[in-house]
């Protein structure tokens, strides 16, 4: 099943842009003017020459059929990825005005594509060989085991120290934490980084922000302290936990794992893609829904600060691929494996539940992973309703509703959701948790494309 | 220590899965402590004060107390979260009214999203480069979409309203396109309140024409904006009915409101309105009086026009004692009460002579049709060509210009405009560029374009900006050719393109997209001439590339809206 004939929407193309400036620059190049000799092939390659400020036009070529999202090559000096030329060319292609007619690739494009195919084949053969050699490529297993042991000892020391700090805090009272301020937590977080427990470090850093988070902070601080404590205890007693839960603890602590669960082949619908960034890292989350299996999977990818992660799957596309889960109970994270058809637009929608069922689903998921802040849920037939300064998603029938999280109130997506609804029921995909519901994607009740809210 | 901490992770998760359905904490109040169980409140209080000062029931004071407290809190936290219930639904908003218009074609919807994404202030440098200015195309995109009568895609309304919020000139077209759902949205977001102001009655529908009681009720009790909208709507349908409606309450309206209502009679003004306007000449408010006079003078057969014709006629005569017939002007010596009642403002602005001030007002209000009879049976063109004695020419011609615009008299406008190629047309003649632009407004669109094309062919582009602004979009072929030729000449003359950036910008928006093909040759970088400004050729090529790209984009936009 090849669907190269179906072109992406402009929205989906713009979702690939690494930042707002690129989006703007790319939109401007999405017109026929500066382009010449543009074309596309049935194998999912798009190419073109873009007139820039220099005398020689830039050569831009994009491989949209790649399993890990589109790959780009452009002769421009930009370090943005994809650059504005690639975005502009894709927009031109998406507009489907015949500006990018089907045809055979010119030599310079063909060379790059062939090189890529070659490398992919080599990687596959290498992967198959490595699989056959049972991890022979991973170096000395004995050394790896010793490294893991040393790290476990350090984490144990870190967790024990953190327990001590928490006990001291509780003995003296949380009221003191407000005066102690952020510095104390920063220092503890640095200790956890030294202990090679990045998961603990991140949680500790968040503890530092709680006292300044407004009314009710002691409750939130106690909750989060208790969950850190729970994680510490979980680590210190991991041998006595069931395997799945022990894996969950390890992943929450921040130990690397590999997605070695059994792969599921499905037609995966991209439900949402959004980035969060801190000073060092941009994290991209992509939610997938298996249209056959009904499963939900989370793909994570990372980029250095200020750079977009490479994996990009625009909302509303569907890809037939294998997805392998990471270990641990209640963990939805998965890795994208072999892809059988390039991503193509789809009219499929995930099935939805009521607000009551969504809340229950979060409660049940906590049984597998008590540290979960939220679970992915699709709500069926809900109406956004203003509730004072905040908003909620109310069931069209019945009288229960999920309040929206505080952070989603300040996003422009809220208004797109409200506009789309117009007081009528809509289908909304989002994350439902103890802070409320964060809407990520919505569909109108009638026919219509998925609308990104994040 | 380990012995005292009896809770471990397994029991916490067990708690989570067994108590999930029994706890009743409401999701809306997770941050408050009011509805939390007492045990949790005890834990929070102890945690806040510290176990050194206080321990919750069931936990013994001592070195193990902090850990015991954390154990209990972990269980409680997971239990509370697992037991979260949805909140009670608040009042749901009234559904937005159904939009009966057909949906926008998909390609056009994507184009709109692109145009709206190109908001000013989202990065980008000052130099314009070869890429089209997308935001500048939004007005004509909206106009075209409104002509087709498409409904706006709801998810784009927030971006559209934000764009209209920043640019008041976009608002009428944007709000017409956005339709009733935009008004519905604007009631929920104070940022978009302008949409409620712009839509009378906050979008409430006006009563249908046959609902006389409803009309009467809205007219007598409605808000000012609603009443203005009602009056305008009825005036557009049935001019006499609007006037009658206004008459019913005229005496009790406030002066500012009377002025606004009177102003709305401008649309569909006809001889039937004369008695009402004549009566308004005696109004208490000076502004109402002068507006009524202005409206009456636009009716050439009105009694006021006749009175003005007599007054103006006395002042202007052909003097045959000279070698060539010359117009002699004798300005009025006083502003009598009759003149004042007919709207003549007696007090001249500072710097102007009283007599010429009064004279100007008389000629402006007198029907133009009377002058040929008064001035020896000459045609307007012949009259305009006559010399005027004693430096009165400027004053007289300016007044005639105002009269031609007010009375929408094309023949006089043509005469006053003169031929576009005339040498004085380019310079500061008797008729300023602003007046010319207004005079052009009284002509048909083809004639207008032809005149401006002739003007540009003779005088170039430097003075043409204002005149181009009144031409119909897209420009007629002769006008388009004239502009492109003039740009080409300006390039060959060696100046920089930004001296013509205003005209360039207009050309991008107004040139017929079909002209794109003719411009291809201009996109190349020419060899630099000796007297050319350094690098100008490259900038011109860039400017022409942008022009062509924009024209192509406009052609694509139009095609997308056709839905093909």
Express each pLDDT in A363-396 by its tens digit. Answer: 999 999 999 999 999 999 999 999 988 999 999 9
Residues of chain B found within 8 Å of residue A21, distances taken between Cβ atoms: 122-124
Q: How far is B509 from chain A (nearest CA, A)?
A: 16
Query: For residue range A6-54, what is the model confidence (pLDDT) as tens digits?
Result: 677 777 787 777 777 777 788 778 776 778 888 888 777 888 888 777 7
Over residues B57-67, the mean pLDDT reads 88
Q: Which residues of A254-291 are buried (b: 16+ CB within 10 A; e: fewer)?
A: bbeeebeeebbebbbbbbbbbbeeeeeebebbbbbbbb
B472 and B362 co-located in one domain: no
In a domain, B522, yes or no: yes
Nearest residue in B to A385, CA atom:
B92
CA distance B268 to B55: 85
Chain centre distance of CA B272: 32
| Sheet containing A374-387, strands listed edge to edge, beginning at the edge strand earlier in sequence | A451-452, A436-444, A426-433, A374-387, A390-395, A400-403, B87-88
Q: Is residue B184 part of a domain?
A: yes
* Cα–Cα dist B350/A77, whole Å: 64
Place of tokens 């979008």: B203
The pLDDT value given to residue A291: 93
Considering the domain architecture, whether residues B314 and B409 belong to the same structural domain is answered as: yes
DSSP bridge partners of A375: A432
Q: Once rounded to an integer, what is the mean pLDDT over residues A175-199?
A: 85
Lay out the sheet containing A35-40: strands in order across. A35-40, A45-50, A58-63, A71-74
Is the pLDDT assigned to residue A357 strictly greater than 90? Answer: yes
CB neighbours of residue A127 within 10 Å = 12
- From chain B, pick out residues whose CB is under 8 angstroms from the CB of A215: 31
Alpha-carbon gap: B59 to the closest alpha carbon of chain A (Å): 13
Q: How would you label A72-92 residue by residue, b for 16+ Cβ within 10 Å and e otherwise? A: bbbbbeeebbbbbbbbbbbbb
Would the pLDDT of A104 be above 90?
no
Q: Are B140 and B108 in contact (CB under 8 A)?
A: no
For the beta sheet containing A334-345, the strands, ordered from the edge strand earlier in sequence to the opposite edge, are: A296-304, A281-290, A264-277, A317-325, A334-345
Contact A387/B16, CB-based, under 8 Å?
A: no
Q: Could you report the per-residue pLDDT of A276-289, keeping only the tens digit for each?
A: 887 778 889 999 99
Contact B303, B274 (CB under 8 A): yes
> Which contacts of B440-445 are long-range, i.e. CB under 8 A and separated by 24 or more positions?
B440/B413, B440/B467, B440/B470, B440/B471, B441/B405, B441/B470, B442/B404, B442/B405, B442/B408, B442/B409, B442/B410, B442/B413, B443/B410, B443/B413, B443/B414, B444/B410, B445/B471, B445/B472, B445/B476
- Looking at the fold, whether B225 and B267 belong to one and the same domain comes out as yes
- What is the distance in angstroms between the Cα of A240 and the nearest Cα belonging to chain B? 9
Q: How many angstroms separate the CA atoms of B316 and B371, rounded? A: 9
Whether B469 and B548 map to the same domain: the answer is yes
Q: How confident is the model at residue A353 (pLDDT cuts 50, 70, 90)?
A: very high
pLDDT digits 0-9 by tens, A211-238:
888 888 999 999 999 999 999 999 999 9
Identify the pLDDT of residue A67.
59
B48 and A419: CB-CB below 8 Å?
no
Query: What tokens does A314 get?
Result: 């625009």
Task: Please check whether residues B451 and B537 belong to one and the same domain.
Answer: yes
Task: Tell me which residue of A80, A82, A85, A83 sits closest to A71, measured CA to CA.
Answer: A82
In this structure, of A199-213, A411-425, B257-271, B514-528, the range with the lowest mean pLDDT score is: B514-528
User: Which residues neighbour B560 within 8 Å (Cβ) at sequence distance 6 or greater?
Assistant: B105, B107, B108, B111
| Residues B120-156: b if buried by 16+ CB within 10 A, e if exposed | eeeeeeeebbbbbbbbebbbbbbebbbeeebbbbbbb
Cα atoms in the Cβ-side hemisphere of radius 13 Å centred on B549: 28
Query: Where does the pLDDT of residue B3 fall: very low under 50, low under 70, confident under 90, or very high at 90 and above?
Result: very low
Residues B161, B194: Cα–Cα separation, whole Å:
9
Residue B202: the pLDDT is 42
Q: Would you call the peptide bond into A140 cis, given omega within 30 degrees of 0 as the criterion? A: no
pLDDT for position A6: 63
Q: What is the ipTM of this complex?
A: 0.78
For residues A297 and A246, the answer to whether their CB atoms sit within 8 Å is no
Assign B425 a pLDDT band (cuts: 50, 70, 90).
Answer: low
B7 has a pLDDT exceeding 60: no
Burial grade of A174 (CB within 10 A; 0-12, 13-18, 19 or more)? buried
Q: What is the pLDDT of residues B389-420, one digit of tens each?
A: 888 888 898 899 999 988 888 899 888 888 88
Which of A52, A222, A224, A388 to mutate to probe the B interface, most B CBs <10 Å? A222
Q: B179, B203, B227 — which closes off a domain?
A: B203
B396 shares a domain with B465: no
Q: What is the pLDDT of residue B23?
A: 45
Q: What is the dihedral of CA A431, A436, A438, A441, to 10 degrees?
A: 70
pLDDT at B497: 80
Instruction: Answer yes or no: do B216 and B254 share one domain.
Output: yes
What is the per-residue pLDDT for A22? 79
Radius of gyration of chain A (CA): 24
Kindly state the tokens that stand for A162: 């953190």
Chain A residues with CB-CB distance to B110 below 8 A:
9-11, 94-95
pLDDT band at residue A326, thresholds of 50, 70 and 90?
very high
Q: How far apart are CA A321 and CA A259, in angstroms?
A: 15
Which residue among A21, A370, A418 places its CB closest to the CB of B188? A418
Q: Is residue B97 part of a domain?
A: no
- Residue B1 belongs to some domain of the structure: no
Tokens of B82: 């697992």
pLDDT above 70: percentage of residues in chain B: 86
Residue that terminates a domain, selected from B243, B276, B299? B299
Q: What angle is formed at CA A371 by the lines to CA A368 and CA A373, rounded to 5 degrees?
A: 105
- Distance (Å, whole) CA B499 – CA B20: 73
CB-CB under 8 Å, A392 with B73:
no
Cβ pairs bridging A and B (under 8 Å): 281
Q: Which pLDDT score is estimated for B489?
A: 85
Q: CA of B172 to nearest chain A CA: how many angstroms apart?
A: 20
Based on the fold, state whether residues B346 and B397 are members of the same structural domain: yes
Nearest CA in chain A to B94: A423
Q: Which residues of A touch B158 (CB under 8 A)?
A: 412, 415-416, 419
Count of structural domains within chain B: 5
Nearest residue to A197 (alpha-carbon basis) of A154, A165, A144:
A154
Give the domain range for residue B288: 212-299
Q: How far is CA B8 from the centre of its chain?
A: 67
Query: Which residues in chain A are contacts of B65 at CB distance < 8 A?
Result: 170-171
Please tell me the total number of residues recorded for chain B in this structure.
Answer: 564
Which residue does chain B place closest to A167, by CA atoms?
B66
Contacts of B122 in chain A (CB under 8 A): 20-21, 24
Instruction: Tell me what the pLDDT averaged over chain B comes to.
Output: 82
User: Do both B447 and B394 map to the same domain?
Assistant: no
- Asked whether residue B237 is domain-assigned, the answer is yes
B412 with B499, same domain? Answer: no
Within a domain: B285: yes
> What is the C-alpha to C-alpha distance for residues A424 and A426, in angstroms, rounded to an integer?
7
pTM summary value: 0.75
- The answer to whether B540 touches B526, Cβ cutoff 8 Å, is yes
Residues B199 and B216 in one domain: no
Single out the residue in B417, B452, B474 at which a domain terminates: B417
Query: Range with the lowest mean pLDDT among A122-131, A220-229, B56-65, B522-531?
Result: A122-131
Of A31, A220, A367, the CB nearest to B17: A367
Q: How many CB atoms lie within 10 A of CB B538?
A: 14
CB contact under 8 A, B110 and A172: no
- Asked if B70 lies within 8 A of A420 by C-beta distance, the reply is no
Q: What is the DSSP string of A145-178?
A: HHHHHHHHHHHHHHHHHHHHHHHHHHHH-THHHH
B295 found inside a domain = yes
B20: chain A residues, CB-CB within 8 Å: 360, 363-364, 366-367
Instruction: State the smallest CA–CA distance between residue A417 and chain B in angstroms.
Output: 7
Both B169 and B188 in one domain: the answer is yes
- Would residue B100 count as lying in a domain? no
């Amino acid at each position: 099943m090849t669907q190269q004939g179906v072109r992406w929407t402009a929205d989906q193309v713009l979702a690939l842009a690494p930042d707002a400036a690129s989006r703007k620059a790319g939109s401007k190049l999405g017109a026929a003017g500066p382009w010449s000799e543009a074309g596309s092939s049935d194998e999912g390659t798009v190419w073109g020459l873009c007139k820039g400020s220099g005398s020689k036009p830039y050569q831009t070529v994009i491989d949209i059929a790649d399993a890990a999202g589109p790959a780009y090559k452009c002769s421009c000096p930009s370090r943005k990825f994809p650059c504005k030329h690639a975005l502009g060319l894709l927009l031109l292609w998406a507009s489907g005005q015949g500006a990018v007619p089907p045809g055979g690739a010119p030599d310079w494009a063909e060379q790059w594509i062939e090189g890529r195919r070659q490398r992919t084949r080599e990687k596959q053969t290498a992967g198959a060989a490595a699989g056959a050699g049972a991890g022979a490529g991973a170096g000395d297993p004995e050394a790896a085991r010793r490294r893991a042991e040393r790290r476990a000892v350090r984490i144990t020391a870190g967790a024990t120290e953190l327990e001590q700090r928490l006990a001291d805090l509780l003995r003296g009272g949380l009221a003191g934490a407000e005066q102690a301020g952020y510095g104390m937590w920063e220092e503890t977080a640095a200790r956890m980084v030294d202990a090679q427990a990045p998961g603990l470090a991140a949680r500790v850093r968040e503890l530092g922000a709680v006292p300044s988070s407004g009314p009710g902070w002691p409750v939130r601080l106690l909750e989060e302290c208790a969950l850190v404590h729970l994680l510490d205890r979980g680590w210190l007693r991991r041998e006595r936990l069931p395997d799945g839960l022990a894996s969950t603890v390890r992943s929450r602590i921040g130990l690397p794992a590999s997605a070695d669960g059994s792969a599921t082949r499905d037609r995966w619908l991209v439900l949402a893609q959004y980035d969060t960034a801190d000073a060092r890292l941009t994290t991209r989350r992509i939610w997938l829904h298996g249209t056959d299996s009904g499963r939900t999977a989370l793909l994570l990818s990372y980029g250095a600060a200020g750079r977009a992660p490479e994996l990009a799957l625009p909302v509303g596309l569907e890809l037939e691929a294998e997805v392998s889960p990471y270990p641990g109970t209640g963990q939805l994270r998965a890795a994208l494996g072999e892809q059988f058809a390039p991503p193509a637009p789809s009219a499929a929608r995930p099935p939805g539940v009521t607000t009551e069922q969504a809340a229950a689903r979060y409660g049940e998921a906590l049984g597998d992973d008590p540290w979960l802040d939220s679970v992915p849920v699709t709500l069926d037939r809900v109406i956004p309703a203003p509730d004072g300064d905040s908003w909620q998603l109310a069931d069209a029938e019945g009288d229960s509703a999920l309040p929206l999280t505080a952070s989603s109130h300040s996003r422009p997506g809220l208004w797109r959701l409200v506009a789309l609804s117009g007081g009528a029921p809509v289908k909304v995909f989002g994350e439902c948790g103890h802070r409320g519901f964060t809407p990520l994607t919505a569909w109108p009740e009638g026919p219509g494309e998925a609308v990104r809210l994040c | 220590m380990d012995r005292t901490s009896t809770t471990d992770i397994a029991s916490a998760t067990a708690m989570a899965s067994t108590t999930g359905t029994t706890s009743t904490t409401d999701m809306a109040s997770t941050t408050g402590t009011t509805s939390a169980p007492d045990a949790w409140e005890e834990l929070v209080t102890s945690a806040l004060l510290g176990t050194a000062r206080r321990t919750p029931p069931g936990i013994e004071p001592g070195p193990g107390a902090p850990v015991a407290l954390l154990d209990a809190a972990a269980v409680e936290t997971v239990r509370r979260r697992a037991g979260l219930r949805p909140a009670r639904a608040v009042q749901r908003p009234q559904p937005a009214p159904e939009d009966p218009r057909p949906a926008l074609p998909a390609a056009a919807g994507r184009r709109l999203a692109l145009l709206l994404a190109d908001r000013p202030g989202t990065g980008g440098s000052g130099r314009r480069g070869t890429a089209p200015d997308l935001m500048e195309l939004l007005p004509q995109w909206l106009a075209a979409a409104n002509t087709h009568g498409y409904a706006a895609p709801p998810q784009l309304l927030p971006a559209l309203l934000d764009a209209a919020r920043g640019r008041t000139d976009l608002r009428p077209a944007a709000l017409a396109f956005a339709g009733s759902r935009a008004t519905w949205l604007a009631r929920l977001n104070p940022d978009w309140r302008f949409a409620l102001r712009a839509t009378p009655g906050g979008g409430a529908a006006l009563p249908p024409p046959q609902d006389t009681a409803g009309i009467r009720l809205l007219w007598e009790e409605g808000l000012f904006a609603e009443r203005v909208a009602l009056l305008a709507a009825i005036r557009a349908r049935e001019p006499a009915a609007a006037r009658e409606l206004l008459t019913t309450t005229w005496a009790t309206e406030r002066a500012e409101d009377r002025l606004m209502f009177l102003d709305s009679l401008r649309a569909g003004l006809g001889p039937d309105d004369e008695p009402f306007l004549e009566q308004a000449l005696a109004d208490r408010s000076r502004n109402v009086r002068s507006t009524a006079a202005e409206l009456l003078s636009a009716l050439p057969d009105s009694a006021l026009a006749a009175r003005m014709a007599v007054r103006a006629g006395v002042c202007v005569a052909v003097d045959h004692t000279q070698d060539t017939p010359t117009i002699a002007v004798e300005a009025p010596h006083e502003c009598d009460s009759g003149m004042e009642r007919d709207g003549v403002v007696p007090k001249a602005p500072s710097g102007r002579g009283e007599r010429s001030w009064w004279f100007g007002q008389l000629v402006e209000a007198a029907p133009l049709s009377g002058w040929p009879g008064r001035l020896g049976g000459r045609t307007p063109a012949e009259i305009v060509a006559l010399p005027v004695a004693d430096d009165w020419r400027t004053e007289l011609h300016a007044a005639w210009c105002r009269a031609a615009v007010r009375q929408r008299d094309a023949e006089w406008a043509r005469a006053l405009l003169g031929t576009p190629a005339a040498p004085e047309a380019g310079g500061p003649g008797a008729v300023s560029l602003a007046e010319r632009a207004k005079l052009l407004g009284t002509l048909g669109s083809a004639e207008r374009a032809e005149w401006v094309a002739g003007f540009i062919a003779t005088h170039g582009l430097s003075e043409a900006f204002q005149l181009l602004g009144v031409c119909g979009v897209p420009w007629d072929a002769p006008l388009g050719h004239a502009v492109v030729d003039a740009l080409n000449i300006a390039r060959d003359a060696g100046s920089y393109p930004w001296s013509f950036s205003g005209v360039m910008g207009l050309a991008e928006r107004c040139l017929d997209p079909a002209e794109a093909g003719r411009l291809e040759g201009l996109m190349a970088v020419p060899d630099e001439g000796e007297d050319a400004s350094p690098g100008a050729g490259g900038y011109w090529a860039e400017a022409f590339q942008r022009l062509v790209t924009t024209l192509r984009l406009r052609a694509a936009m139009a095609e997308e809206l056709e839905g093909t």
